[in-house]
Structure 1
Amino acid sequence: MNVEQVFREERGRLLATLVKRFGDLDLAEEVTSDAIEAALRHWPVDGVPDRPGAWLLTTARRKAVDRLRRDQAYAARLALLQVEVDRADPPTTDALPDERLELFFTCAHPALAAEDRGALVLRCLAGFTTPEVARAYLVPVTTMQQRIVRAKKKISQARIPFRVPDPHELPERLPGVLQAVYSIFTEGYAAQRTDLADEAIRLARILRSLMPGEREVTGLLALMLLVHARRDARAELLEDQDRTLWDQDMIAEGGALTELALTGGHGPYGVQAAINALHDQAEDFASTDWPQIVALYDVLDGLAPSPVVALNRAAAVAMRDGPAAGLALLDELAGEPRLRDYHPFQAARADLLHRLGRCEEAAQAYREAIALAGTESEQDFLRRRLSVVEG
């Protein structure tokens, strides 16, 4: 098993468990880092243990107790922790089925600024690096660092408890949790890490079992299933993908959930699911219902306007009305700050320029996209597209 992958998979679980037990986010982060450093020393020599998560948790707990023992301010708490340090928490009837979801809802507390909630979840509980969180929110790394520090400080100053929210509090905090789960999925999709994508889908299924009446929970699950169904063919552009590789069971489930999500109303995730259902259910690329997709992007732009929605709508318009029409819309977005370092914007421009026969400009746009891409898999894909243009 790849050691880096183990750390990515276990970090979120470890932090959630430690925060729940110790009630101190900074302490949990510190001893999690200490435990990972210890693993980096021991595992290359001794091998990855059969239960890496348990090894990391035991190591982190011991380091937390050692740290608290040195801090007299925590003396009263230490007595209780020493009793519990090697004992699992007893199950409770009102607990959420996943400790990370408990902490997701805690970090979505309304006392925190809306822009800080999801960032805190992704950094501290989902195991994202700060640059990865910044990329998810289309902001500079320094801005994201400030947001995370601000959120943690607010939790400490406002004494926000790390507990399962009461049932009536869950709907208010749900949007932030859905955003965090979807960001986990999109990061996994971008990096071609099926473990992250699968984990996001698993969390969404838990949320739906808890809140079956929430349309946006159903819409998010549908959206992720419909996108993930294409995972085995996604090394190519959508128009070049071998559709026999698509997961038809996943498409069928996602399509059925999309219908449920749009029953009696619609939200942003449900509309995005409907767009992807049209892609997945078309017999081939040529028969895709682009007018309907553009219409759905118009609806989405009214519900949740953003530069990324505008970018995707421009790409759909290019398929409906021709590349010149799409490129004109992209040119209107060229001054948008949040798209300046967003490599899909340059990739979309490159594709349309290539379709128009403007190959030198297309090649330059692909080079800019490669420089901005955050993962090796994205860079490899863009290099292949560049070689086509240059050829």
Structure 2
Amino acid sequence: MSYLVISFSHKNTDIQTREKLAFPNEENKDRFLKQLHAEAVIKEAILLSTCNRVEIVISTSNVSYASSLIIKRLAQYSQLDYDDLFERADIYDNEGAIHHLFSVASALDSLVIGETQIVGQLKDAFRFSLSKGYCQQNLPRALHYAFKCAAAVRTATSLGTGSVSVASTAVLKAKEVVENQDGIKALVIGAGEMSELTVKHLISKGFKVTLISRDIKKAKILAESFEEHIEVEEYSNLKQLLNHIPVMLTATAAPYPIITQEMVSECEFDRYWFDIAVPRDIDEIESPNLTIYSVDDLQFIVNSNMELKAKQAKTAYGIVGKMSVEFFDWLKTLEVEPVIKHLYIKGDEVIDKKVNNAIKKGFIKKEDEANIRKLCKTVLTEYLHHPSKKMKHLSKNMECDIVLGAVQSMFDLNTDSNMLNKYKCEHALKINERG
């Protein structure tokens, strides 16, 4: 079994490509994952789709074939050229896949280094795949360590503090372009998680917020969750609001642009629109005094902060590298423990058989059975202590698989699925409890 990650992000694709690759709803994700999971070479799969990236994380028996297959499926889904996608894709396997996954979880591969949303988005993607049965054991182990790594990075560095999300970066730019005038109106379109984060940052920067959504009930609930007054408008008023409010930020899950050229009237004042959705909410629009920023346009703020974050990022990458190595060492110990356990089980079976036969034939008295069993178990434990210790030590060496295979073959040991499942992370356990 091998780990494989196919990655499309702001690093290797423009926003036009990413919005075609994006999975805006659970139905699309479920359908795509079901197709992958039906393939014999793909054992488990997770799909992460955000405004900055699409990541396919799988365990597979054939890295090369699975890579080609996944990109073929993505080409069909997005209606993009297979060869172009294959050339753009960042493909990671085994150690590289785990290092990349840990980097993504720790927000080191994000547009805004240290942004706080990605680990939550990855957890959501993992829970979704787990609940649908698209991952069972290998990926839960990897995700368990990825979240552990992300927590270690947050503890050891200050990358997760301050303004570290696409939403907060957009609000910072909005504050800059309106010359820091308090009380400026800002329109937020959408009532999801990204919109909630946007409203929070707008309020902190002194903006007066108007919220609009197709689901007005959801918008009102969101507005009421803030202590500050948030105006909520009917979605039918969108065109009017766009042409009267100077700042607008949109973050919906619509699969097509919701703001088009015919909705825009010329205004005498300057307008600044921030489209932090992928696929984009704003169509290609030209209008005097209107400036539109997409997710990729926020890169300049990221670049200005990189020098300040470089030292922290170096520390974080050191943690990622260290924990990537630890992860594979940990996996090897999981292979050893069931073998050791079954050596003891096999020994107990021999003790039971021989003690029962000895009592049956009158070699020992029934009343001595408990003491004799205790003596036999003591001998077994002492006899297997050194081999067990040796196998645990071997788990860190390259020949581990060969040695374990030989031991299992010589002693005719069975596998233990319960022992293997023992090391699922807490997210897997919660899903299983609900199931």
- Same fold per superposition (TM over 0.5): no
- What interval of TM-score do these two structures reach, taking the shorter chain for normalisation? under 0.3
Normalised TM-score (structure 2): 0.25
TM-score, normalised to structure 1, is: 0.27
Larger Rg: 2
Report the structure, 1 or 2, having the larger strand content. 2
